[in-house]
A and B are shown apart, each in its own frame.
Chain A
Amino acid sequence: MRKNESSDKKSRRIDFRLLGRIIKLLFKYYPGLSTLTTIFIIFSAIVSSIPPLFLQRVIETIGKYYETRDWAAARSVIIPQVTLLIVLYTVSVICILVYRQLSAYITQGILYRLRRRMFDNMQYLPIRYFDRNSYGDIMSYYTNDIDAIRQVVAETLPIVLQSSVIVLTVLFIMAYYSVWLMLLVLLGVAVMLWVSRTVGGNSSKYFVRQQKSMGKTEGYIQEIMNGQKVVKVFNHEDQSIRDFDAVNQALYEDSYRAHTFANMLGPIILNLGNILYVLVAIVGGILMINKVPNLSISGLALGISIIIPFLNMTKQFTGNLNQVSQQINFVAMAAAGAQRVFALTDEQPEADNGYVTLVNAVIDAEGNVTESDAKTGQWAWKHPHGDGTLTYTPLRGDVRMFNVDFGYDEDKPVLHDITLYAEPGQKVAFVGATGAGKTTITNLLNRFYDIADGKIRYDGININKIKKSDLRRSLGLVLQETCLFTGTVMDNIRYGRLDATDEECIAAAKLSGADSFITRLPDGYQTQLSGSGSNLSQGQRQLLAIARAAVADPPVMILDEATSSIDTRTESIVQRGMDKLMEGRTVFVIAHRLSTVMNSDVIMVLDHGRIIERGSHDQLIAQHGTYYQLYTGAFELE
Chain B
Amino acid sequence: MIQMLKRLGKSVREYKKPSILTMLFMVGEVVIECLIPFIVAQLTNDIKNGCGLDVIGKNGLILVVLAVLSLSCGGLAGFTAAKASAGFAKNLRGDLFRRVQTYSFTNIDRFSSSSLVTRLTTDVANVQMAYMMLIRIAIRSPLMFVFAIAMAYTMAGALAMMFVVVVPVLVFGLIMVSRKAMPAFRSVFRKYDRLNESVEENVMAMRVVKGFAREKYEQEKFDKASDDIRIDFTKAERIVALLGPLMQMCLYFNMVFVLTFGSKLVITTHYIDVGQLSAMLTYGFQILISLMMISMIYVTLTISAESARRIDEVLREDSALTNPAEPVNTIPDGSIRFENVRFKYSEKAVNDTLSDIDLDIPSGSTVGILGVTGAGKTSLVQLIPRLYDVTEGSVKVGGIDVRDYDLAVLRDGVAMVLQKNLLFSGTIKENLRWGDPDATDEELAEACRLAQAEDFILSFPDGYDTQIDQGGTNVSGGQRQRLCIARALLKKPKILILDDSTSAVDTRTDALIRAGFRRYIPSTTKLIIAQRVASVMDADQILILDHGRIIAAGTHAELMASSPAYRETYEQQTRNSDAADNAAGEEVTDNA
Contact = CB atoms under 8 A, between A and B. Distances in A.
A475 B82 contact: no
Nearest to A592: B587
Contacts of B125: 214
A594 B47 contact: no
A108 B233 contact: yes
Contacts of A58: 259, 263
- Greatest chain B CB density within 10 A among A74, A315, A638 is at A638
| A interface residue count range (under 10 / 10 to 19 / 20 to 34 / 35 or more) | 35 or more
A207 to B, nearest CB: 12
A281 B60 contact: yes
Given A282-B57, A434-B590, A100 B245 contact: yes
Given A142-B199, A532-B201, A568 B572 contact: yes
Interface stretch (B155-163, B352-360, B575-583): B575-583
A486 B71 contact: no
B87 to A, nearest CB: 6
B348 interface: no
Contact of B589 (A105, A226, A239, A433): A433
A71 B234 contact: no
Interface string A248-277: 110110011111101110111011101101
B229 A112 contact: yes
Contacts of B240: 104
A75 B262 CA distance: 12
A229 B117 CA distance: 15
A569 interface: yes
Nearest to A227: B422
A233 B87 contact: no
Contacts of B223: 116, 119
- Greatest chain B CB density within 10 A among A245, A285, A307, A475 is at A285
A633 B222 contact: no
Interface in A287-331: 288-289, 304, 307-308, 311-312, 315
Given A100-B245, A221-B121, A256-B83, A312 B47 contact: no
B489 to A, nearest CB: 12
A66 B266 contact: yes
B196 to A, nearest CB: 6
A241 B98 contact: yes
A527 B44 CA distance: 77
A231 B101 contact: yes
Interface stretch (A23-31, A466-474, A503-511): A466-474
A245 B94 contact: yes
B213 interface: yes
Given A256-B83, A282-B60, A565-B500, A235 B411 contact: yes
B113 interface: yes
Which secondary structure dominates where chain B touches chain A? helix
B53 A286 contact: yes
B378 to A, nearest CB: 11
B551 interface: no
Contacts of B281: 312
- Greatest chain A CB density within 10 A among B86, B108, B470 is at B86
B116 to A, nearest CB: 5
A511 to B, nearest CB: 18
A572 B136 CA distance: 66
Given A108-B234, A311-B278, A289 B422 contact: no
B412 to A, nearest CB: 6
B108 to A, nearest CB: 5
B93 interface: yes
B425 interface: yes
B306 interface: no
A103 B243 CA distance: 14
A275 B252 contact: no
A86 B226 CA distance: 43
B361 interface: no
Contacts of B282: 315
Interface stretch (B2-10, B143-151, B202-210, B518-526): B202-210
Contact of B94 (A138, A236, A244): A244
Interface stretch (B73-81, B390-398, B555-563): B73-81
B21 interface: no
Interface string B469-496: 0110000101100000001000100000
Interface stretch (A332-340, A452-460, A477-485, A512-520): A477-485
A120 interface: yes
Which secondary structure dominates where chain A touches chain B? helix
Interface in B534-592: 569, 572-573, 576, 579-591
Given A232-B387, A495-B212, A636-B478, A285 B78 contact: no
B441 to A, nearest CB: 20
B418 to A, nearest CB: 6
Nearest to A237: B101
A568 B195 CA distance: 38
Interface stretch (A5-13, A89-97, A384-392, A415-423): A89-97
Contact of B211 (A48, A103, A232, A472): A472
A93 B90 contact: no
B48 A304 contact: yes
A304 to B, nearest CB: 4
Interface string B408-419: 100110011010
B74 A214 contact: no
B411 A232 contact: yes
Contacts of B412: 235
A39 interface: no
A71 B587 contact: no
B503 interface: yes
Contacts of A226: 113, 422, 471
A591 B583 CA distance: 10
Nearest to B239: A104
A631 interface: yes
Contact of B47 (A255, A307, A446): A307
Interface stretch (B165-173, B267-275, B294-302, B330-338): B267-275
B89 interface: yes
Nearest to B111: A225
A100 B242 contact: yes
Interface stretch (A77-85, A169-177, A359-367): A77-85
A552 B576 contact: no
B421 interface: yes
B90 A251 contact: yes
B345 interface: no
Given A219-B470, A552-B212, A304 B206 contact: no
Given A124-B215, A260-B78, A567-B373, 10 more contacts: A48-B248, A58-B259, A82-B260, A108-B230, A219-B470, A222-B117, A256-B86, A258-B82, A594-B576, A633-B585
24 contacts: A59-B277, A62-B263, A81-B259, A89-B252, A103-B241, A108-B229, A116-B223, A120-B219, A123-B202, A127-B206, A143-B196, A234-B435, A244-B94, A255-B82, A264-B74, A270-B74, A285-B56, A288-B47, A434-B476, A485-B201, A486-B198, A563-B590, A567-B373, A634-B508
